[in-house]
Chain A
Amino acid sequence: MFHTRHMRIAVAAAAVVTLTLTAACSSGGDDDTSSDGGSASAGAPSGDILVLTNRTDLVDTTFQDYKKTFEAKYPDVTVKFEALTDYEGEVKTRMNTKDYGDVLLIPNSVSVADYPDFFEPIGKTDELAKTYSFVNEAAVDGTAYGLATFGNANGVVYNKDVFKAAGITALPTTPQEFIADMQAIKDKTDAVPFYTNYKDGWPLTWPQSWMGAVSGDKDALVKMAADDAPWADGKEKATVDSLLFDVAKAGLIEDDPTTTNWENSKNLIATGKIGAMALGSWAVPQMQDAATKAGSDPASIGFMPPPFLVDGKPVSPVGGDYKLAINVNSDHKAAARAWFDWFINDSGFYDLAGALPTVTANPAPANLKDFEATGVQYLEMTPEAKISAIDNQAEIGLGQPDYYRQLVDAGRGASKDTKESIFEGLDKKWAAARATVG
């Protein structure tokens, strides 16, 4: 009966397939041992340190120059880099062990309250605030656990040539003007007026980073955490989210948002096929780079503040980018600290990124000169830890693309939801989560 045996083997083989399919992956391992407490920060910096970075593009070039300069200053220290493509995901998983480099960027998904378990204290916030910006964003009870590598201003990256072709002479200062300008681009040019980057998702989360732009209030996030209905008519959150909805509703976004492509969008805006995209100032050098590569003029890439005026001036909320921190389990804390200080103070990394400096005394980089000429006020927001606690509990995802996608879908008529029904649902979830988190 050899064929029945074959059949058994076939069934067994297929069963193996089943097993591998049903054995969903799950990562185990956790480590409850806390640090040994003894701070090794004291003493002369020496030893090997491992620096984790997300800049795969710079690790073999600029960072090697940094290494040379730094090691010339501290001959006893050897710096090694590890660049990670999926920085967020990999480092967050590695933080379940002790092996996550000596100096690293804090993954965004780690909640601030957990910082003391993982990172060395950097100093008291009131002391640090005299020299540095964005100090409070990585602080627990007055102690900072990390400093921003650089800061970002939020606004809209646009193509000046497209704006000119559409006959736009002055930058929009109200949402109505913004929509009218986008409509002009649609009518008079072939460009997509406002590209949402719906598919890649993360560039779609800009409405949250515009909190503060409407009111000019640096406590906007604190107020949102204390509000049961931040999406009620006229509130700041509702106003900014409405702008996204209205742009989608007026048909001023890409034809099929589900097939957008972030890497390609750089090329599209550089060659005048996109009018505008809401992004941080960090995006400007990347777009200019794309323009150079595509053979067009990098000067055609412009950056403008959010289209709102507070006391006659536009406001751009600024925030720290990735925070640099020192692993609490590091064997060479003095060396790690030396690199940390050198990188924040002396590397000039912010200038390379075309971003705002963490050291308050440093001047803004050249490519933000036009932006500052609009009279824009930088607004450093007061961080509010409760926001993410409520957000997680409510499963809304203020920094995640999902509900912004719902807004776009409702706007472009792809779902039965209305703006009102979405906002109502958000308010309900927010209020319920506030009641639980307290």
Chain B
Amino acid sequence: MSDTPKVATVPRRTPRPFRSNPRPAVVRQSQRGWRFTPWLFLLVPLALLVTFTYIPVANMFWYSTTDWNGISKVKHSVGLDNYVEFFTRPELFRVFWVSAYYLAASVIQLALALYFATLLSFKTRLKNTFKGILYFPSLINGVAVSFIFLFFFQPGGTLDSVIGLFGVSQDSMPQWLGNPDIINFSLAGTSIWRYMGLNFVLFLGAIQSIPAGIYEAAELDGAGKWAQFRYIIAPGIKPIIGLSFILAISGSLAVFEIPFIMTDGANGSTTFVIQTIKTAFESNKVGLASAMAVVLLAIILIVTWVQRRLVPEEEVNLT
């Protein structure tokens, strides 16, 4: 962080020397533990992790090399045919354009979350009420959110009524979900409303872990709120911002819930995951769909890796 400007008054403390053996020998002798005890405690979470994550994922890799239809007792191995088929059918990739709407939306979402988190980390009236309001959408389950917004976007629904209060005639209102040029904006907007609270809480938590003394010192030096944000908060929560971006990108590549429940992928709102689901359970091509899921996993891993290379994680050290 040598190139980032530092808050001049904050003294850099030299790091404490690292002790190679932090546990004194006396303590070790008083331990009567059996060396497998920690593993016993880990047994349950590990069993759950293996059963519900690694075995299904391994199965998915296996299915992706078969022509399984999802129910047959027989699965013929087809090698890499599913992958070849996937990469030779450009129409299967076209749905990634839909993700671009959600990607743009997630940038707005992060900006808003950061804005509100910063605002509410300073002294504000009704601070906790606003925190509650902003986090509230994250508490509602996705199905309920989708239904709320289905009514919201209906012709003559909530949105139309509210706009109508300003004297706009109902007839000139666009169809928020019926118009293929607007539908993805509507859905991405819903996604912002739904997920902003989560980012907000992450940011807020990170901001609050910055010691208050630093702000005081900065204020004494005449730093305004913007300078405090620019030179204290932003660098202070950089890892969380970086992580949120990774989440945002992988999230927008794997959008599912909102468009699936609200429109079932109709009218040009099909995302990659919806397409995968339909391939598996409507065309009964579980093999091909598994291959698509594996490719999505690979894409997300690659994107994450590239991002980590571009924005490496740094140790934050404000003090």
Contacts and interface: CB of A to CB of B under 8 A. Distances in A.
B60 interface: yes
Interface stretch (A47-55, A107-115, A220-228, A365-373): A107-115
B178 A257 contact: yes
B246 A18 contact: yes
Given A23-B53, A256-B175, A395 B285 contact: yes
B102 interface: no
Contacts of A34: 73
Contacts of A111: 69, 71-72, 284
B184 interface: no
B69 A32 contact: no
Contacts of A23: 52-53, 57
Nearest to B211: A3
Contact of B282 (A114, A198, A400, A405): A400
Nearest to B285: A392
Contacts of A95: 71
Contacts of B315: 4
B70 interface: yes
Nearest to A109: B284
B150 interface: yes
Contact of A18 (B206, B209, B210, B250): B250
B283 A397 contact: yes
A165 interface: no
Interface in A245-266: 255-259
Nearest to B244: A14
Interface stretch (B30-38, B128-136, B218-226, B264-272): B264-272
Interface in B48-80: 52-53, 55-57, 59-60, 69-73
Among B56, B157, B246, B315, the most chain A Cβ lie within 10 Å of the Cβ of B56
Interface string A2-16: 011011001101110
A252 B297 CA distance: 44
A61 interface: no
Given A11-B239, A392-B69, A402 B278 contact: yes
Interface residues of B, number: 62
Contact of B267 (A1, A32, A258, A400): A258
A109 B285 CA distance: 12
Interface string A56-76: 000000000000000000000
Nearest to B293: A24
B233 interface: no
A425 to B, nearest CB: 10
A34 B211 CA distance: 65
A10 B242 CA distance: 12
Interface string B266-302: 1110000100001101111100000001000100100
Given A114-B71, A117-B73, A415-B268, A259 B154 contact: yes
Given A22-B300, A92-B70, A256-B178, A414 B267 contact: yes
B209 to A, nearest CB: 4
A25 B285 CA distance: 17
A7 B56 contact: no
Given A17-B247, A95-B71, A259-B153, A397 B282 contact: yes
B59 A258 contact: no
Contact of A14 (B175, B202, B281): B202
Nearest to B256: A24
Select the residue from A7, A23, A111 with max chain B CB neighbours within 10 A: A7
Interface in A205-245: none
A259 B174 CA distance: 13
Contacts of A18: 243, 246-247, 250
Interface string B226-266: 00000000000101100110110011001000000001111
A28 interface: yes
A259 B240 contact: no
B177 A256 contact: yes
B67 to A, nearest CB: 10
A21 B282 CA distance: 24
A137 interface: no
A257 B155 CA distance: 10
Nearest to A19: B53
Interface in A280-334: none
A181 interface: no
B316 A7 contact: yes
Nearest to B55: A28
B282 to A, nearest CB: 5
25 contacts: A3-B318, A7-B316, A10-B205, A14-B247, A21-B254, A22-B297, A23-B53, A23-B57, A24-B254, A26-B56, A28-B55, A32-B73, A92-B71, A109-B281, A114-B73, A117-B72, A201-B264, A257-B178, A259-B155, A259-B177, A392-B283, A397-B278, A397-B283, A409-B266, A414-B179
Interface of A: 1, 3-4, 6-7, 10-11, 13-15, 17-18, 21-28, 31-32, 34, 92, 95-96, 109-111, 114, 117, 198-199, 201, 255-259, 391-392, 395, 397, 400-402, 405, 409, 414-415
